[in-house]
Amino acid sequence: MDGVVQYVRRPGIVDLGWGHPDPGSLPTGEWAEATGEALRRFGWTALTYGAGAGPGPLIEWLRANLAEVDAAAPRASEVFVTGGASQGLEMVCALLARPGDVVLVDAPTYHLALRIIADREVDLRPAPTDDGGILPAGTEELIRRLDSEGHRVAFVYLVPTYGNPTGASLDGNRRRELVEVAARTGTTLVEDDTYRELTYEARAPRSLWSIAAGGPVVRLGSFAKTVAPGLRLGWITADRSFVRRLVDRGFVDSGGGVNHLAAVTMAQFGASGRYARHVRTVRELYRTRRDALVGAVRGQVPGARFRVPDGGWFLWLGLPAGVDARSLLAGAERAGVSYLPGNRFHLDPGAGSDRLRLSFSLLAPDALAEGAQRLGRVIAGAVAAAQL
């Protein structure tokens, strides 16, 4: 629908670029039911100015849910309900960073988070990384060097669990070391934890927030991937003094809870069992799609290098030597397939051109297979041309 959604359909193109949910999975009927129930259950309190940190019943439900899907549950005073992870990150930037501060980010990392952080007029720099993600010792060294040069490092942003774009997760040792580095250097970690519940093999790794146990981690959660992005609903766990600062923002004091009706409706969606059922369904759906894309890429894309993602929505595909993700794009689109070049996920415009991000969330298995086939032909052509 033109002018209603972000998504733009391009006829003839299998577009693996969109990190958007499967339209068929979005719970239109169930959300309507939950809304009716919430408006009966909460009455007028669902429609007036809501509690600043979010409604108590949603916070209680979130605590119970996090006790299941993470290694620790927050206290009620450690939760703030947001208008989605992006809106949450905007608030976190306002509180933690001042214009001119340095913010370190994982590399590669979620490209649109870079834009949110840049809006705070900070100096964005990549943290040191290798194939396993961010390097704690190197990050500590960098923070200390920046500090000695008179810079203030406002925070470190990363997506350590089923990351965007890599689909990979930071291992347990690095998680612990990174939290220790944060504590030692007095640096806050901003943990984008929006893919935690889309896990296809095992339980997700414990969050940095749970490891820090009240320490310097602000964790961003979301209902965009588990339920629906259009709700604009998410949450933050952080220590209670930080939550108090969020509640104390002028616009929250004035308008009350950031997305109150959606929040009380989610409390009902959770309490009624719909959330648990829905997450089971989408987990199965996206696992199937991941398997479809992985199988098709393996079979159809010559020289494909990738790790099978354990969760999330993305396959981070390494290209054969000599093939550049950006140069390939126009030809790929002429051949009827699209993707995001790896460069988009790096601050350094020269980095990541040997990779591309393929999303398996939006499209059905048939389309994923067709996309992989087209991509395979285009890459084979590029390899052949490079060898001429």
Of 262-291, binders to a copy of itself (CB under 8 A) are 262, 264
Task: Name the residue with tokens 């988070």.
Answer: 113
Which residue number, 69 or 362, has a Cβ lying nearer to a copy of itself? 362
Contact 167, 307 (CB under 8 A): yes
Is the preceding peptide bond at 27 cis, omega within 30 degrees of 0? no
Task: Name the residue with tokens 């052949």.
Answer: 384
Which residue number, 89 or 363, has a Cβ lying nearer to a copy of itself? 89
Which residue number, 306 or 314, has a Cβ lying nearer to a copy of itself? 314
CB of 57 to a copy of itself, least distance (A): 7
**Single-letter amino acid, residue 199:** T
Question: Nearest-5° angle of CA 139, CA 140, CA 141?
Answer: 90
Q: Tell me the per-residue interface mask from 315 to 354 with a copy of itself, x by CB under 8 A, - otherwise.
A: ----------------------------------------
CB of 44 to a copy of itself, least distance (A): 4
Which residue number, 178 or 231, has a Cβ lying nearer to a copy of itself? 231
Structure tokens at 108: 């590669």
Task: Name the residue with tokens 């409390």.
Answer: 267
Of 100-129, binders to a copy of itself (CB under 8 A) are 112-119
Q: Which helix (H) or strand (E) holds 267?
A: helix 260-271
Of 13-72, binders to a copy of itself (CB under 8 A) are 20-21, 23-24, 26-29, 31-32, 35-36, 39-40, 42-52, 55-57, 59
CB of 56 to a copy of itself, least distance (A): 3
Contact 101, 143 (CB under 8 A): no
Instruction: Round to whole Å and give the CA distance between 298 and 369.
Output: 11
Is the preceding peptide bond at 229 cis, omega within 30 degrees of 0? no
Which residue number, 2 or 149, has a Cβ lying nearer to a copy of itself? 2
Of 224-263, binders to a copy of itself (CB under 8 A) are 224, 228-232, 249-262
Of 360-379, binders to a copy of itself (CB under 8 A) are none
